[in-house]
Structure 1
Amino acid sequence: MSNNILTYSKVSFNPLNPDEKSILIEDIAHALSLMTRANGHFHEFYSVAQHCIFCCEEALARGYSNKVALACLLHDASEAYLADITRPVKKNLLNYLDIEEVLQTAIYSKYIGQALSTEEQAQIHSVDNSLLFSEFIHYMNEKLDMEAEKLVSIPDFKFVPFHEVEEKYIDLFNKLTS
């Protein structure tokens, strides 16, 4: 059996051995706009793409560089090819973490072009955790037991049709890469 998947744009893609030429922002935006956060356990549909958009907007609101904002937009892009797995499970799937790291590195390499510094990685992690914390307060009325900075931006946690989220994701990507 082949290790390839067929993407939205009909690209035959091997997530175990990613070829940067086969990584397309359209595939990422489409897939993430249809994937739910928290494995669908929120009380309404909220996509991974919406989360990534809000992370990007938060990075910009904090005054982080366009490079960090783009990395925030793309920080879950590997999930477009692998799936979103909850943090408690993901941290126990060592092979998965290796596969995810190789794929995420290929995505960053293609679209950012240079490695992220330790400081930039810390900024991305801080933004991601802050959004996660706020998402659980909004959608589950629960405060996670974790450290998270207060959001500077004001995400509009509401249902948005996937095609609008997909379009916004691509528009934001184009603004950051132009």
Structure 2
Amino acid sequence: MADYILTYSKIKFFPLEPIKEDIKIEDIAHSLSLMTRANGHCRHFYSVAQHSIHCFREAKSRGYSKRVQLGCLLHDASESYISDLTRPVKRNMPEYFAIEETLQGVIYDRFGLGDLKDEEKRHIEEVDDTLLHYEFAELMNFPIFDVAPTKTTEHDFSPKEFTLVEQEFLDIFADIIGMSSDTHL
């Protein structure tokens, strides 16, 4: 059997040899809306798509460029094709890092972010860490950092129906890139 997964849109996707044109925003939004953060160790279901939406909102609130906002929305998109591993496990699996980095690079390239500058990447990482801290404080009663990072907007970590989160993810994506949400990329 070939090394592919079947995506929500019925594409045979080869995560170890990704083809840029096979990456669909609908597959990313659907998968991430059903995938839980923190490996499911939260007080209630909270999806990776919700996290990504909050990262987008934080980046927008900080006045970051549309490129950084889109990067924040898509920063975990590789997880929709290869899932995720907890940080302690991931640190001990360099092959996974290489696969994830390659796939995330192809995803960024697919959506016009293949040339992210170091400063833009740093902004995306800072936003991601900020949300990580507040998510863990709210959803697990365990703040990650001794000193809470500065956030520029309030975030709602309550449970949400996955279909609503999926559609919100798609709407935000469409708004950022300036297309109608029923156009497919």
Aligned positions, number: 178
Q: Name the CA shift for 1:146/1:95 in 2 (closer, same or farther; >3 Å).
A: farther
CA distance in 1, matches of 2:138, 2:113: 35
Answering whether residue 175 of structure 2 is matched by residue 175 of structure 1, we say yes
Deviation above 3 Å: which 4+ runs of structure 1?
Answer: 145-148
The residue identity in structure 1 corresponding to 2:134 is S
CA distance in 1, matches of 2:128, 2:106: 20
The residue identity in structure 2 corresponding to 1:140 is M
TM-score by length of 1: 0.97
Q: Deviations over 1:11-63 (max 9, x none)?
A: 00000000011000000000000000000000100000000000000000000
CA distance in 1, matches of 2:97, 2:15: 13
Q: Name stretches of at least 5 consecutive residues in structure 2 with no aligned partner.
A: 179-185
CA distance in 2, matches of 1:34, 1:97: 23
- Within a 5 Å distance, the mapping from 1:121-140 to structure 2 comes to 121-140=121-140
Displacement after TM superposition at 1:145 (Å): 3.8
What do you get for the CA RMSD once the two structures are aligned?
A: 1.1
Say if 1:71 and 1:112, in contact at 8 Å, map to a contact too. Answer: no
CA distance in 1, matches of 2:146, 2:130: 9
Could you tell me which residue of structure 1 aligns to residue 106 of structure 2?
Answer: 106
Say if 1:71 and 1:124, in contact at 8 Å, map to a contact too. Answer: yes
Displacement after TM superposition at 1:173 (Å): 0.2
- Within a 5 Å distance, the mapping from 1:1-178 to structure 2 comes to 1-145=1-145, 149-178=149-178
Give the secondary structure class of the aligned counterpart of 1:50: helix
Q: Deviations over 1:63-119 (max 9, x none)?
A: 000000000000000000000211121121100000001100000001024411110
Say if 2:71 and 2:113, in contact at 8 Å, map to a contact too. Answer: no
CA distance in 1, matches of 2:44, 2:142: 15
CA distance in 2, matches of 1:103, 1:144: 27
CA distance in 2, matches of 1:92, 1:68: 29
Say if 2:133 and 2:143, in contact at 8 Å, map to a contact too. Answer: yes
Q: Name stretches of at least 5 consecutive residues in structure 1 with no aligned partner.
A: none
Q: Deviations over 1:110-130 (max 9, x none)?
A: 102441111001100000000
